[in-house]
């Protein structure tokens, strides 16, 4: 009798059969893909042994699309059709591009949703489409190296990417035909690559300076569990900005004030980048451009980029403060990203944290290697007990309430995935619908926060103000993507939305929002207190006015006139008063003066309910 082989649910039927999963580091300057093989995690290379793929796409003649090195070779001769640094444009609005410091030569158009579209010879191309081309090239390399189709991929993103940027990354992967197992924060991936999870506990700082983005994350490790305590950074700062400063220095030496054409600009940036890379090992290099030649020393270059380095360390200081830690409480510092090879970066970061930063693993490879290890777990090839990751939200999520206030549902630096609910009620009698306005930010008023989405809960049963119970639930998944639902607890009617925000929040905006929340904290508290009293005044005016319209016959003329006078006084003070304490006192005065009216209404209501009823009925 033959034996029938069976398998556990979700596991391959063949004992030796492995699911193929990879980690993809979608970088601003370079991208790469890694997988776990018999010898451990390794970065997959092409036939020439190259591991790094320039994150560049060229749309050539006859609809041919070039990626990587072949696209880079066309960047000088065909700059308008060669898309570079598209990661910086993911999740952005057209209006943000000028502030990103990209110096891009492209002609842009605008999508209805605000997404920038780039004019190329094949038509309009979005940053999502261009990123999909790069991800597709990574998937093809992996399938060729592994000899089979992929079952999934973990794709890394800067820890400070907001909802729109994360969603745009997922959309690009879907367009490339890749099943996303998870979006993983780049700094967390780096810590995994160093095997820091094997320690019992500790605080880890991951300083991630890439080509186009900078991230700093403070991780806490406890019994194999990674928790991101706080994140910070700037997605418009990276090695590309070093190149621009060096390029501007060259132009200064040339004494050229005019704007270069796209071809010359691209050539200049390439020269600057080569000089930067060479000065990582050399003390001085020869630089030549457009007939000019000169020398650039490492000391001079470090002087040029020092302000940007100080900017990254200010982010480190803020993030440590968010985590409630001091620099000497950090046990390990991990360096990530090609620019961290520069001696000034290694020196300044080590000096700031008071310990030698880890750089033994190739800083270009470390993120992809960590992502590959996580992919191996998520695809089912290893036990999920090996590692648990707990990331956090970069900004608070809330809902706009009456008076333009923001009620925070999930606070920034809350561990995700997370689900939180809060109950709200109606403001007016007979209210049958409620607009749910989803907000993001740290300020107290909706005008100072970012609008993510709106949706309407309809068919709420008509009740008196305050009687309805509306439960609003915010749920953030492991990738940092948000869904919001609102449910009337009486009728069970429900409405929901998956938040795919507009492309309007730049990383500088996030930093600015945090700065504003700290700078304006006292003013915000006072403004919120005033607005809350204004809402209470509106409610008092609405309730008293409604009561007088329906039951004024319970009062004599002088009592009605007195209450109306008080109501108008409250209305005038609500419009002009800027001191919440004075307004609160007036509300209290009107409330106390109308208590006798409320008692009369209640007595009348009870009498009406008891008319024609005998004791037997009531029993």
With beta carbons less than 8 A apart as the criterion, state whether 346 and 357 touch. Answer: yes
Question: Which is more confidently placed, 130 or 63?
Answer: 130
Q: Which of 185, 187, 66, 173 shows the shortest CA–CA distance to 129?
A: 173
Q: How far apart are CA 302 and CA 290, in angstroms?
A: 24
- Give the confidence band of 154 by pLDDT, cuts at 50, 70, 90: very high
Q: Which residues are CB-neighbours of 186 under 8 A, at least 6 positions away?
A: 25, 156, 157, 158, 159, 206, 208, 210, 215, 336, 367
pLDDT tens track for 351-409: 999 999 988 889 999 999 999 998 988 887 765 554 555 566 777 888 888 778 888 88
**Which range, 296-305, 482-491, 563-572, 593-602, has the best average confidence (pLDDT)?**
296-305
pLDDT at 229: 84
Axis crossing angle, helix 239-254 with helix 298-323, rounded to the nearest 10: 150
pLDDT tens track for 443-498: 778 887 878 888 888 888 888 877 888 888 888 876 667 888 888 888 888 888 87
Q: Is the pLDDT of residue 308 over 70?
A: yes
Q: Is the pLDDT of residue 615 over 70?
A: no
Active site residue 616: no
**Can you say how many angstroms the Cα of residue 316 is from the centroid of all Cα atoms in its chain?**
18
With beta carbons less than 8 A apart as the criterion, state whether 392 and 228 touch. Answer: yes
Is 62 buried (19+), middle (13-18) or exposed (0-12) by CB count in 10 A? exposed
Consecutive H or E run containing 186: helix 186-193
Q: Which two tokens stand for residue 250?
A: 């060259």
Active site residue 186: yes
pLDDT at 419: 82
Looking up tokens 């950090």 gives 330
Rounded average pLDDT over 498-513: 50
Among the options 93, 96, 171, 208, which is catalytic? Answer: 208
Is 121 buried (19+), middle (13-18) or exposed (0-12) by CB count in 10 A? middle
b/e burial code for range 10-37 (CB count within 10 A of at least 16 → b): eeeeeeeebbbbbbbbbbbbbbbbbbbe
Q: Backbone dihedral region of 91: left (phi > 0), alpha (psi from -120 to 50 degrees) or beta?
A: left
Among the options 163, 186, 507, 532, which is catalytic? Answer: 186
Residue 239 is given by DSSP the state H
pLDDT at 15: 46
pLDDT tens track for 196-252: 766 667 899 999 898 877 889 898 877 666 677 888 888 678 888 999 999 999 988
For residue 417, say if its preceding peptide bond is cis, omega within 30 degrees of 0: yes
pLDDT at 383: 57
Share of the chain above pLDDT 70, in %: 84
Q: Which residues are CB-neighbours of 408 under 8 A, at least 6 positions away?
A: 396, 397, 398
pLDDT tens track for 522-577: 666 677 777 778 878 887 888 888 888 888 888 888 888 888 888 888 888 888 88
- The CB density around residue 497, as the number of other CB atoms within 10 Å, is 17
Q: How far apart are CA 608 and CA 619, in angstroms?
A: 18
pLDDT at 207: 93
Q: Is 6 helix (H, G, I), strand (E, B) or coil?
A: coil
Query: Mean pLDDT score of the chain, rounded to an integer?
Result: 82
Q: Is the pLDDT of residue 6 over 50?
A: no
Q: Is the pLDDT of residue 505 over 50?
A: no
pLDDT at 312: 94
- Give the confidence band of 113 by pLDDT, cuts at 50, 70, 90: low
Rounded average pLDDT over 62-90: 87
pLDDT at 507: 44
pLDDT at 16: 46
User: What domains does the chain contain, in order, with CATH numbers?
Assistant: 21-238+304-392 (3.30.420.40), 397-504 (2.60.34.10), 522-610 (1.20.1270.10)
Q: How far apart are CA 114 and CA 482, in angstroms?
A: 20
Helix, strand, coil in percent for the chain, rounding step 5: 40, 25, 30
Among the options 78, 87, 151, 509, which is catalytic? Answer: 87
Q: Is 28 helix (H, G, I), strand (E, B) or coil?
A: coil
Q: How far apart are CA 145 and CA 140, in angstroms?
A: 9
Among the options 25, 240, 376, 448, which is catalytic? Answer: 25
Active site residue 509: no
Rounded average pLDDT over 54-67: 90
pLDDT at 502: 41
- Give the confidence band of 275 by pLDDT, cuts at 50, 70, 90: very high
Active site residue 569: no
pLDDT at 349: 96
Beta-sheet strands, E only, within 122-251: 123-125, 152-157, 180-185, 201-209, 214-222, 225-234
Q: Is 242 helix (H, G, I), strand (E, B) or coil?
A: helix
Question: Which is more confidently placed, 37 or 222?
Answer: 37
Q: Which of 321, 189, 304, 171 shows the shortest CA–CA distance to 249?
A: 304
């Amino acid at each position: 009798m033959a034996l029938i082989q069976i398998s556990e649910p979700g596991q391959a039927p063949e004992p030796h059969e492995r699911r193929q999963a990879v980690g993809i580091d979608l970088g601003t300057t370079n991208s790469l893909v890694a997988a776990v093989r018999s010898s451990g995690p390794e970065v997959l290379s092409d036939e020439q042994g190259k591991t790094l793929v320039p994150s560049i796409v060229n749309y050539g003649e006859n609809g041919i699309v070039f990626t990587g090195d072949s696209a880079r070779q066309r960047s000088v001769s065909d700059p308008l059709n060669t898309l570079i640094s598209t990661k910086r444009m993911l999740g952005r609005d057209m209006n943000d591009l000028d502030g990103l410091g990209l110096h891009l030569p492209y002609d842009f158009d605008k999508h209805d949703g605000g997404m920038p579209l780039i004019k190329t010879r094949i038509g309009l191309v979005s940053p999502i489409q261009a990123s999909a081309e790069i991800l597709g090239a990574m998937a093809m390399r992996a399938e060729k190296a592994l000899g089979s189709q992929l079952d999934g991929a973990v794709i890394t993103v800067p820890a400070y990417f907001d909802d729109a940027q994360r969603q745009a990354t997922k959309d690009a992967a879907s367009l490339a035909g890749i099943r996303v197992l998870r979006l993983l924060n780049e700094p967390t991936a780096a810590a995994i690559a160093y095997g820091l999870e094997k320690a019992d506990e500790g605080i880890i700082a991951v300083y991630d300076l890439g080509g186009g983005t900078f991230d700093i994350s403070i991780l806490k490790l406890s019994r194999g569990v990674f928790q991101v305590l706080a994140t910070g950074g700037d997605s418009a700062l990276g090695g590309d900005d070093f190149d621009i400063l060096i390029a501007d220095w060259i132009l200064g030496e040339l004494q050229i004030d005019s704007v270069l054409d796209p071809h010359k600009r691209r050539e200049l940036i390439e020269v600057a980048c080569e000089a930067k890379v060479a000065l990582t090992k050399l003390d001085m290099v020869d630089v030549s451009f457009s007939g000019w030649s000169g020398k650039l020393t490492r000391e001079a270059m470090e002087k040029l980029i020092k302000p940007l380095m100080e900017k990254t360390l200010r982010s480190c200081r803020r993030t440590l403060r968010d985590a409630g830690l001091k620099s000497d409480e950090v046990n390990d510092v991990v360096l990530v990203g090609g620019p961290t090879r520069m001696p000034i970066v290694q020196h300044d970061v080590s000096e700031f944290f008071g310990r030698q930063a880890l750089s033994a693993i190739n800083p270009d490879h470390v993120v992809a290697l960590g992502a590959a290890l996580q992919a191996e777990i998520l695809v089912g090839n290893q036990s999920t007990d090996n590692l648990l990751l707990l990331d956090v939200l970069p900004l608070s999520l809330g809902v706009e309430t009456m008076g333009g206030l923001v009620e925070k549902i999930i606070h920034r630096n809350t561990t995700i995935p997370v689900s939180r609910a809060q109950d709200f009620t109606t403001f007016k009698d007979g209210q049958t619908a409620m607009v749910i306005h989803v907000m993001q930010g740290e300020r107290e008023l909706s005008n100072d926060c970012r609008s993510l989405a709106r949706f309407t809960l309809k068919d709420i049963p008509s009740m008196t103000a305050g009687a309805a119970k509306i439960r609003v639930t915010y749920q953030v998944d492991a990738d940092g993507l948000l869904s919001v639902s609102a449910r009337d607890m009486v009728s069970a009617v429900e409405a929901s939305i998956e938040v795919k925000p507009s492309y309007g929040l730049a990383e500088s905006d996030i930093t600015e929002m945090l700065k504003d929340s700290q700078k304006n904290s006292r003013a915000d508290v006072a403004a919120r207190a005033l607005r809350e009293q204004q809402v209470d005044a509106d409610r008092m005016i609405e309730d008293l006015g409604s009561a007088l319209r329906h039951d004024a016959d319970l009062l004599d003329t002088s009592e009605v006139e007195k209450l109306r006078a008080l109501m108008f006084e409250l209305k005038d003070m609500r419009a002009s008063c800027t001191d919440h304490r004075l307004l609160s006192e007036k509300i209290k005065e009107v409330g106390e003066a109308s208590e006798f009216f409320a008692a009369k209404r209640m007595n009348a209501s009870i009498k009406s309910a008891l008319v024609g009823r005998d004791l037997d009925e009531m029993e």
